[in-house]
């Protein structure tokens, strides 16, 4: 009986030492010294519970962190980890417990623990150590680590909290931003260059018009050149505006018939398209919820290219095939033009890329097509046989709103 009561006290003390203040022992009603001890311990547990942040509460805090957290003992050995470690790196606590934190880093990136400890002893923390991290699957991810000292009652009870931030996603975003900024620089440079060309020609023509004001033959020639330059300028500005509209955020969805858009383009550009044989295959009146202006720019540029890249002696034929599926609409634009060689297929959708030395365009047409299709959530691809023709296919998903 006495043994049992002593065991109970023993278990109670163990529970409290483990930070588990809740389970309390009942007194036996003997009103002896042991009951007095149990009552005292229960009161102590209640007091501790009121004043102490429980381990599970702390664990919840660091499990909720979006970065990996490792708790290191005074010798740099891992004693605990948070839930993110498992999610990001695949390690369990069992696999890491009492291993040096340095086993997580490649050999060349090991951290001198003695130096680190002495540093954080003085300055409390060390931030921004950029390094690589080896996951349980042996892949390497870029990380940034910070170490901070949490002091115990005695120096040997000090622990170190190591927070490891996975930089893969951030590095990816940074790279994307760098690429975008490079693209923007090229864009500004090339756009101003393309605007400057026809403008310079027009200024030159003004001078000539002044000089040859009395020569009607020459003047006629200058005005023809002037018209050419101004339409080139108009084309560049239209393309830049189209691109601006596509990249600007927000889409105004409208339910439209694809065939209506095709016909509108033909009507608005009779000077270009009147001599073209259009063959529209639209077995039903397919409608789609999309941004009509963007779809118009996409199709206009595909038609314009079909005309630009046909041999002069050949009658341009454009076949537009509109197909429907429950997921979206597919539009095939085929021509009987010069075709596109394998060597340039991968580049034609790049900004300002001109694949043809005789191209008079700005190299923005297919970039507008690709950017527009992606903006509408679709994709574009190409099949082409040199000297026979090309088929550009676009898929646009249905949108419910």
- Contacting positions for ligand ADP (CB under 6 A): 301, 305-306, 308-309, 335, 337-340, 348, 353-356, 359, 361-367, 390
Q: Give 228 or 356: the residue with its C-beta nearer to ligand ADP.
A: 356
- The answer to whether residues 105 and 133 touch, using CB atoms and an 8 Å cutoff, is yes
What is the nearest approach in angstroms of ligand ADP to the Cβ of residue 176? 22
- Residue with Cβ nearer ligand ADP (25 or 191): 191
Cβ distance to ligand ADP smaller for residue 89 or 297: 297
Which tokens go with 86? 């498992």
Q: Is the dihedral of CA 231, 237, 242, 243 positive or negative?
A: positive
Between 278 and 353, name the residue whose CB sits nearer to ligand ADP. Answer: 353
In angstroms, give the least distance from the CB of 218 to ligand ADP.
31
Q: DSSP class of residue 367?
A: H
70 phi/psi in degrees, rounded to 5: -120, 130
Nearer to ligand ADP, 80 or 335 (CB): 335
CA distance linking residue 294 with residue 375, whole number of Å: 9
| Span between the terminal Cα atoms of the chain, in Å | 76
Dump strand ranges (E) for 31-92. Answer: 68-72, 78-81
How far apart are the C-alpha atoms of 264 and 148, rounded to whole Å?
67
Nearest distance in Å: CB 389, ligand ADP: 7
Q: In this complex, which beta carbon is closest to ligand ADP, that of residue 252 or of residue 357?
A: 357
Please, are residues 102 and 119 in contact by the beta-carbon 8 Å criterion? Answer: no
Which residue lies nearer to ligand ADP by CB, 80 or 239?
239
CA nearest neighbour of 398 among 287, 242, 271:
287
Distance separating alpha carbons of residues 121 and 117, to the nearest angstrom: 6
Task: Rank residues 85 and 340 by Cβ distance to ligand ADP and give the closer one.
Answer: 340
Q: Is 291 helix (H, G, I), strand (E, B) or coil?
A: coil
Angle between helix axes 168-211 and 216-247 (nearest 10 degrees) is 160
Minimum distance from residue 132 beta carbon to ligand ADP (Å):
40
Give the Cα separation of 170 and 177 in Å (integer): 10
| Cα 146 from Cα 387, distance rounded (Å) | 62
- Closest approach of ligand ADP to the CB of residue 276, in Å: 12
Of the pair 290, 390, the CB lying nearest ligand ADP is at 390
Q: How far is the CB of 294 from ligand ADP (least distance, A)?
A: 16
The nearest distance, CB 186 to ligand ADP, in angstroms, is 14
C-alpha distances in Å from residue 197, one per residue of 193, 286, 401: 6, 42, 43
Consecutive H or E run containing 11: helix 2-17
């Amino acid at each position: 009986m006495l043994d049992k009561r002593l065991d109970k006290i023993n278990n109670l003390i163990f529970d409290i030492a483990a930070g588990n203040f809740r389970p309390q022992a009942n007194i036996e009603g003997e009103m002896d010294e042991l009951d007095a001890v149990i009552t005292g311990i229960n009161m102590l547990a209640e007091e501790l519970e009121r004043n102490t942040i429980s381990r599970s509460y702390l664990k919840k805090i660091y499990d909720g962190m979006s970065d990996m957290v490792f708790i290191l003992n005074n010798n740099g050995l891992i004693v605990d980890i948070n839930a993110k470690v498992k999610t990001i790196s695949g390690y369990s606590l069992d696999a890491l417990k009492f291993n040096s934190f340095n086993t997580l880093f490649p050999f060349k990136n090991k951290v001198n623990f003695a130096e680190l400890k002495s540093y954080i002893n003085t300055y409390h923390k060390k931030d921004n150590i950029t390094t690589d991290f080896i996951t349980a699957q042996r892949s390497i991810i870029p990380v940034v680590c910070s170490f901070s000292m949490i002091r115990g009652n005695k120096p040997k009870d000090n622990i170190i909290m190591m927070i490891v931030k996975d930089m893969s996603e951030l590095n990816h975003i940074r790279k994307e931003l760098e690429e975008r900024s490079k693209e923007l620089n090229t864009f500004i440079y090339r756009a101003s260059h393309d605007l400057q060309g026809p403008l310079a020609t027009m200024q030159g023509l003004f001078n000539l018009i002044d000089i040859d004001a009395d020569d009607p033959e020459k003047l006629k020639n200058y005005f023809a050149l002037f018209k050419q330059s101004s339409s080139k300028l108009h084309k560049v500005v239209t393309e830049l505006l189209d691109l601006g509209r596509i990249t600007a955020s927000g889409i105004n969805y409208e339910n439209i018939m694809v065939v209506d858009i095709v016909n509108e383009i033909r009507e608005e550009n009779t000077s270009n398209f009147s001599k073209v044989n259009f063959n529209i295959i639209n077995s039903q009146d397919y409608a789609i919820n999309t941004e009509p202006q963007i779809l118009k720019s996409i199709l206009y540029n595909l038609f314009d290219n079909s005309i630009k890249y046909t041999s002069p002696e050949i009658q341009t034929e454009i076949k537009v095939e509109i197909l429907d599926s429950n997921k979206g609409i597919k539009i095939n634009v085929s021509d009987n033009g010069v075709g596109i060689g394998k060597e340039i297929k991968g580049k034609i959708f790049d900004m300002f890329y001109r694949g043809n030395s005789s191209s008079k365009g700005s190299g923005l047409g297919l970039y507008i097509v690709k950017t527009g299709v992606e903006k509408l959530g679709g994709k574009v691809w190409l099949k082409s046989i040199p000297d026979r023709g090309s088929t550009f296919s676009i898929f646009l998903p249905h949108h419910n709103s």
